[in-house]
Amino acid sequence: MRGLSGDFSTMPLKDLVVYLGNRQVTGALKVERGDVRKQLQLRDGHVVSASSNEPREFFGQFLINMGHLTEDQLEKAFANQAKTRAFLGKILVTTGLVPEATVRSALSHKFREMLLDAFHWAEGEFSFEAADSAPEVSGLDVSVDLLDIHREGEFRETAWQAIRAVFPSGGIRLAVDERKLPERKPGSMDERIVQLIKDGLSIDGMALALHATDFFLYQRLYALYRLDAVKVSELEPEPSPPAMVVVEDEEDTGVIGSETSVDEVLQAAQLFLDAGNVRDAEALAKRAHEMGPSPRTAELLKQAQERLVVELRRELVDPPRVPALQVAPAHLKTLQLSAPERYLLSRIDGRRDVAAIVHVSPLQELDALKFFQGFVDRGLVKLAPR
């Protein structure tokens, strides 16, 4: 078959998957929504390799999430990979950190989750380029049938209806009755979930701390709910972080981006970028893209984000800097922090530098670096040379 492309408003991904699976296609499938991009190599209707720029879908994060690897072990594996340029899976097997059967299982899980996570996308685009043969995979030979993924997606639709009836949003907090919990091993997923509930994290916060995909975490919470061991807390849901707005002089009652047109916000963003004020340029470009997405807004936002990453790396990462908390942990609990902020602050141990923490976090690099810069600006964190 020839290549095809379109958007999910006219052809949902679940329909595309069954279409490609029934035709046992070979080629490259790309799916995009906003800044999220995923690419999958198909061979005879099977996924044989996959990559994503979504950090929680990185292979190492799946292994951490499934309890097969620690963050420290992943850091060492990354250091080995930087020297050898070998695939992470091969490094983990050859160094004896993770058995080959476990790596294969985790890769299969990654392939499935990458597509299943996008099944609910109402917006976004896809493209498929047919090929006579799939490129050779320089790693372990793992494949997952597209039709099996489609069948699992149908099951999940029913499961999500039941889950959302109990846990309507990720901002809610939970309460736990340890008397009704099943027996659990130290360090197990249930053990970590229980501790995070007791720490007062929202479900979104737990997902970050556990490096977990949404379905993985919600499915386990629902199982504990069915045992009457977990329920929704009466505490207020975790507040969303306040939106960033750029205000003109105090005498000016306008807020950039509130009543002005996309073109005006875009022009202001370009002026900031040209003047070297990258942070405000990125904030305005993002606002313009939210107001009216277009190739122009997407391109300017991309330019601003790329320059902001370079600037933040220079300020926070190169040369390496080790963060240290400047406030007591008890005081941190009283601050209004978002789930990602609490997660990053919890990883500060006086040993790892900013780059190491960002590298293994389930956040996009730019988002994590912006949070760290905010910590420094607010006096929560101080950076010291390594």
- DSSP labels for 135-193? PPPSS----EEHHHHHHHHHHHHHHHHHHHHH---TT-BEEE-GGGSPP--TTSHHHHH
In one-letter notation, the amino acid at residue 250 is: E
User: What's the pLDDT at 242?
Assistant: 43
Better-predicted residue by pLDDT, 72 or 317: 317
Confidence class of residue 251 from pLDDT cuts 50, 70 and 90?
A: very low
State both tokens at 231: 């329920």
| Complete edge-to-edge strand list for the sheet that includes strand 36-43 | 4-7, 125-130, 27-33, 36-43, 46-52, 144-145
- Beta bridge partners, 265, equal none
C-alpha closest to that of 59 among 1, 5, 139: 139
Find tokens 């501790």 and name the residue.
Answer: 195
Average pLDDT of 273-286?
86
* CB 273 within 8 Å of CB 303: yes
pLDDT tens digits, 325-339: 998 888 887 888 888
Average pLDDT of 117-124?
90
pLDDT tens digits, 16-40: 999 999 999 999 999 999 888 999 9
Give yes or no for residue 229 having a pLDDT over 80: yes
State both tokens at 121: 């996308």
Confidence class of residue 257 from pLDDT cuts 50, 70 and 90?
A: very low
In one-letter notation, the amino acid at residue 109 is: H
Find tokens 């984000």 and name the residue.
Answer: 305
Give yes or no for residue 256 having a pLDDT over 60: no
Better-predicted residue by pLDDT, 73 or 22: 22
- Residue 75 CA to residue 360 CA, distance in Å, equals 7
User: What's the pLDDT at 314?
Assistant: 92
Find tokens 């408003």 and name the residue.
Answer: 9
State both tokens at 288: 């313009």
HEC string of 313-340 equals HHHHCCCCEEEEECCCHHHHCCCCCCHH
Average pLDDT, the chain: 84
Residue 271: alpha-carbon gap to chain centroid: 31
pLDDT tens digits, 126-144: 999 998 876 666 567 889 9
Average pLDDT of 68-95?
82
- Alpha-carbon separation of residue 3 from 109, 130, 228, 283 (angstroms): 27, 5, 50, 37
User: What's the pLDDT at 239?
Assistant: 56
Find tokens 């963003």 and name the residue.
Answer: 269
- Residue 142 CA to residue 297 CA, distance in Å, equals 39
Confidence class of residue 253 from pLDDT cuts 50, 70 and 90?
A: very low
Give yes or no for residue 384 having a pLDDT over 50: yes
Residue 174: alpha-carbon gap to chain centroid: 22
DSSP states of 233-294 as a string? Answer: -SSPPPPPPPPP--B--TT---BTTTSS-HHHHHHHHHHHHHTT-HHHHHHHHHHHHHHS--
pLDDT tens digits, 137-175: 656 788 999 999 999 998 888 888 899 999 999 999 999
User: What's the pLDDT at 135?
Assistant: 65
Give yes or no for residue 258 having a pLDDT over 80: no
User: What's the pLDDT at 150?
Assistant: 93
* CB 255 within 8 Å of CB 245: yes
* CB 60 within 8 Å of CB 161: no
